A and B are shown apart, each in its own frame.
Chain A
Amino acid sequence: MNDSAPDISGGGGDMTPGVSDVAQFSPRSAILGYALGLAFAIILTLVSFFIANTQLIWQPSIPVALAVLAIAQIGVHLVFFLHITTSPDNANNVLALAFGVLIVFLIVVGSVWIMGHMNDRMMPMDQIMQMQR
């Protein structure tokens, strides 16, 4: 094999995010994949906007439902648009993603947790004002 030849037709075993298997590329199925992702994303978005404003469902469940819908839509984007799948060729990409998700989780949940406790333990504002007098 000529190493200097531009290799943009796949070849290696690994996959890169954003590309489905280029070796057996078919425009029809690729467009179909994007369209399917778009359809799922539209449905999830519509449901999100609907339940945010509805009185139909039990109100305290709305934040949880919104979070679940958002995570589902992010999943749809990852699979249909970024082509991150669970195939063995994608192991590197999925591992990097898993690490990223771990860090995001630590940062967000950790901040909310710690700052929530600190808020609870803070002296009420009027007492602080009195102490400063």
Chain B
Amino acid sequence: MSTTILGLPPAGIDPYRVGRMGGGRSEPPRRHETGPAPKRIVVGYGFWIFLLSDIVMFSTFFAAHAVLRGAFAGGPTGRDLFNIPNVAVETALLLASSFACGLAAVAMETRNMLWTQVMLLLTGLLGLGFLLIEVNEFATLVAHGAGPDRSGFLSSFFALVGCHGLHVTAGLLWLGTMMAQIFVKGFAPRVYRRMLCFNLFWHALDIIWVAIFTFVYLYGVAA
């Protein structure tokens, strides 16, 4: 190969040409050196970075809750408030929803319109069930005078769990538009990439929920 010590191409070849055979390579490209990655990869990676930044954002809420978990201000504790069977149902719904979303992705890989839509609908219904239980829980807490204004513990609880709930709400709206797009445009590459991102988003929300039911609810009643 005719590159110099610094990996610079020989003179006369444009080193700034991006892409396949860019940089003056004359032999067939090897694996990992085949020019720009396909858009699917770039989009997925970019969305992965966004999800990680979202998780970092969530970690600040987790940190606040960890700091304030003993700040009851004479009010009710997690042991008094948390309904663990309820949380178990929420967990089951969200996990099933995540699984259904995975199956929708599989159906999309096989370009099966019916199963993609069925699985997306199932994903949405399970997610909606989760959200309704959570809203009901919040309403019950507020009705019993344990709203976010009661203590530092409850402020951080509502902020953290509410933030996750808002993400689920946004996810459901996104899910609705995805179903419409797939229905109207079919499995066009653009739609396929958006669906890929939605899948990542939905699974990431389940990961956040694992941390919430462990470090908020189960720690709240056990530790």
Give A residues with C-beta under 8 Å from B: 1, 6-8, 10-19, 22, 25, 27, 30-31, 34-35, 37-38, 41-42, 45, 48-49, 52-53, 62-63, 66-67, 69-70, 73-74, 77-78, 81-82, 92-93, 96-97, 99-100, 103-104, 107-108, 110-112, 115
Contact = CB atoms under 8 A, between A and B. Distances in A.
B48 A96 contact: yes
Contact of B207 (A6, A69, A77, A107): A77
Contacts of A73: 210
B32 interface: yes
A27 B109 contact: yes
Interface of B: 20, 31-32, 34, 37-41, 43-45, 47-49, 52-53, 55-56, 59-60, 62-64, 66-67, 84, 88, 91-92, 95, 98-99, 102-103, 105-106, 109-110, 188-189, 192-193, 196, 199-200, 203-204, 206-207, 210-211, 213-215, 218-219, 221-223
Contacts of B207: 74, 77-78
A78 B51 CA distance: 12
A99 B60 CA distance: 16
Given A19-B196, A52-B222, A100-B56, A69 B214 contact: yes
Given A13-B37, A100-B52, 18 more contacts: A6-B188, A7-B40, A8-B192, A10-B38, A13-B34, A16-B43, A18-B196, A27-B106, A34-B106, A42-B95, A53-B221, A73-B210, A81-B206, A82-B203, A97-B48, A104-B56, A104-B59, A110-B63
Main DSSP-derived SS at the A contact region: helix
Contact of A70 (B103, B109, B210): B210
B95 A70 contact: no
Contacts of B92: 45
B44 A19 contact: yes
Contacts of B222: 52-53, 62-63, 66
A111 B222 CA distance: 22
A93 B45 contact: yes
A74 B59 CA distance: 14
Nearest to B195: A18
B59 A12 contact: no
Contacts of B196: 16, 18-19
